[in-house]
Structure formats: structure tokens, C-alpha cells
Amino acid sequence: MKKVFLIIACMLLTACVENLIHISVLSSGKYSIKYNSIGDKADLENHDFLHPENTDLIQWSSTMISLDKDSIRPDSLNWEKETIITRPINQKMSFTNSESLIYDIDVSKSKYFFWDNYRFNSTINSLAIDDKYPSIVEFLDIEADSLSWIAPAKEYIIKTSLKEYDKSAKLSTIFTEKINNHIDSYFEYATERKLVEKFDKDSSIILKDALKPMANTVPKNFFKEITVFIDTYEKDFKKNTALMNDYFQFNINLPGVVRHNNAESISDGLLVWSFDFDDIAKDEFKMYANSIRINKFRIQLLLIMIVVGFLGILWNQKLKKK
């Protein structure tokens, strides 16, 4: 019910993106794949979920169009991006860009004399929100008050970056404590007064604002050097928050008869999985399925050979009796 509400909200209210990934496995074991993302044009072009791009080994064809004006979606959300692989492949695909959703897709075929076995496996990496932002786990609901999770998340980014910077800069303990005290005071003041605008900016700017009273005492190039660390965590934070309003559905067609799988539903041989931010915030999301395609010709040939052999034995026995 929650996912149904999210899809409707995406369509009517917010800048959500609905991402559909369809995989079609051929009898040869190769597979084709198509991505369709529908929603806000700007969100379709950002990095939280990237459509595949051309490599030396795999080529893709991508288009973006404005959908029917009669759609129930607002015009700003009424865009579709479609990306299709130009030719079927038989290799594992891994998407490891840290600024985007990290996942892999693996399709394999095992050949036996009487049957072929097809396997599909895919793992969507966890966003590890509980490890990165332990103080905001209780506010993972996208309907929660934004200040409840933005403030502790920004504080985590700044303090973690400060620890990373300190490893190379070797700041004195007294100076580090002084910086942390200013950061704590800044966040307490802004949070108590619900000044959400204080956190609606990049963490590097928040740090400069928090350390204004001691700006003249920080080391030379301090803000420039620590911004390198902050930007790394900030990009990850932006990816995670952008994914809060994304919905994903994976569909796959496998040859033969589907056997073991963990799909949410199967209809006419089409296996379907769906997930959203809550499903990957703290845990990885795994999908698997396998199918068997019987080689009827070889089985029929074997049966014929058995029958012919049996008749041959009977014929020999008959000749011996004569």
C-alpha cells in the first residue's frame, strides 16, 4: 500500500521519478535491457540514478521526450528518459559510480544435454544510512519534518570531514575541541529555533558560518582544504536524499519454466520486483531467479533410441527362438 501511495504522490504532487528496468533473456543466454524513467526533467538528468552510458564494449541509445500534454502529471514532471542497449550481451554489468545508485546485473546460462539452466542475480547496494547518519534513522520516513534529518546529517558530514582532515593536518587537540564546540553551539542554536534555512546550503558554507567567531584563528587554507573532504560526503548525501523520492521496478523475462525466485509477482512468465528508498536505506536489496528450458528434441531422440533398442532386443530374442 505504501508503494502505491508513493507512485500516486510521484504522479500528482512531487518531483518523484519512477524508474522501470526491463530485462529480456534470450535462449542463447544473452540479454537485452531497457531503462525508462518518468518524472521531473531536472531529476532525470541528475546523478542519483544514472542511465548507462557508452563504453568500449557496450553501446546504448538514449532519448528524452516530453510526454502527452493530457497526462495527469504536471508539465514539469511529464518527461520520460529511455535508454536501450543496442545489442544483446552475455556479461555481468556493474554500476559503481559512488555519486549514483550502486548495483549489478548478472545473467548466466548453464548448458546440459537435456536442458539449459538460466540464472538472474542482481544486488542493489545499501545506502548505509544507519552507518553514515546514525542519528537520523528514526526520521527515514520521507514525510518527516525536514529539519529532523537534515540538521544531524549536515552535522555528520562536517564532523566526519573534520576527522578526515585532521589525519593529514595534525591539528592540536585543543584547537579541534574548540572547532567542535563552535559547531555544536551553532547546530544547537539553529535547531532549537527551527532555523531550517541555516542547513539548506552546502555543508562547507555551514562550516564557514559556524566558525565565523574564530575565522581569523584557523590555519591558512583551512576552509579550502577541508572542503575537499566535505564535498565527498556532500555528494553522497545529495544522492541519498535525491533517492528518497525515487521508485524502482525491475522486470525480467526468462526462457523456459521459472523455478526458484524471490520476485514479488509473476505474470505470464514476467518476474517483477519493486523497491524504494526505505528498502535500501539500511539494507541491500537482492533479486534472483532461475529457469529451466527443456531440450525436447534431444529427449524425443533419446526416447526413440530407447524404443528402437528395445524393439531390437525383442527381434533378436525372436530370431534366437527360431
pLDDT in tens, 37-68: 998 888 888 778 999 999 999 999 999 998 86
Alpha-helix runs per DSSP H in the chain: 2-12, 41-45, 129-132, 146-169, 173-192, 203-210, 222-242, 277-280, 296-321
Please give the Cα distance from 214 to 208 (Å, whole number): 10
The residues spanned by each domain of the chain are 2-129+245-298, 138-240
How sure is the predictor about 10, in pLDDT bands with cuts at 50, 70 and 90? very low
pLDDT digits (tens, 9 = 90+) for 198-247: 788 889 999 999 999 998 888 889 999 999 999 998 888 888 888 888 99
Enter the C-alpha cell of residue 28.
542463447
Alpha-helix runs per DSSP H in 13-69: 41-45
Q: How many CB atoms lie within 10 A of CB 296?
A: 10
Please give the Cα distance from 153 to 148 (Å, whole number): 9
Q: Is 139's pLDDT higher than 90?
A: no
Percent pLDDT > 90 in the chain is 47
Axis crossing angle, helix 146-169 with helix 203-210, rounded to the nearest 10 = 80
> What pTM does this model have?
0.76
Axis crossing angle, helix 146-169 with helix 222-242, rounded to the nearest 10 = 140
Strand arrangement of the beta sheet that strand 31-39 belongs to: 60-66, 79-85, 31-39, 17-25, 246-253, 270-276, 265-267
Please give the Cα distance from 265 to 151 (Å, whole number): 39
